[in-house]
Amino acid sequence: MSAPHKLVILDRDGVINHDSESYIRSADEWQPIDGSLNAIAQLNQAGYRVVVATNQSGVGRGLFSMATLNQIHAKMHLEAEAVGARIDAIFCCTHAPEDGCACRKPKPGLLEMIVKRFGIDPTAAPVVGDARRDLEAGAALHFPVHLVLTGKGRATLSTCSSADALPDHAKVHENLAAFVLDFLSSLQTE
């Protein structure tokens, strides 16, 4: 039997790329946060596969098409590759909130799919997000959860009285690059 995959799961908007209240509706609007793609490359170099789990209700709301979402992700892959980074898979919930699906975060459906596809132990795979729903989805399956303060992260943290009020005592990081530095440093001290 092969060894389980070493995996890190990232939310997309607000973690890898700049977010927008009116949604990222085109490849042109998709802009990486400084240092995020290099941080993914560092995870890859340390032997980690990177998977994205993202709510993209703009498709379900009719704001953009699946073809446009695919173009956005093609741009993300190309820009990642340009700095030596690789995103192994993207799991998307394209449902609108009123659809009542099991995959829209904070429900854990997307993460359940990732566990099944990659055969991972959730307790060994960090989930990184900028919103409480990302953390709640991860905590529901006992993933270690991490909040970054980019995107909606600062607002998410300000709605809690302290980091201890976040699901499963989430760890808080300035951005994805800071998470990667902390995460890889913690592995060296184990």
Q: Give the catalytic positions in this structure.
A: 11, 13
Give the CA angle between residues 168, 171, 172 to the nearest 5°: 130
* Joined tokens for residue 160: 């809690």
* Rounded Cα gap, residues 15 and 134, in angstroms: 11
Amino acid 97 reads P
Could you give the 3-state DSSP secondary structure of residue 8?
Answer: strand
The HSE-up count of residue 143 (CA atoms within 13 Å, CB side) is: 28
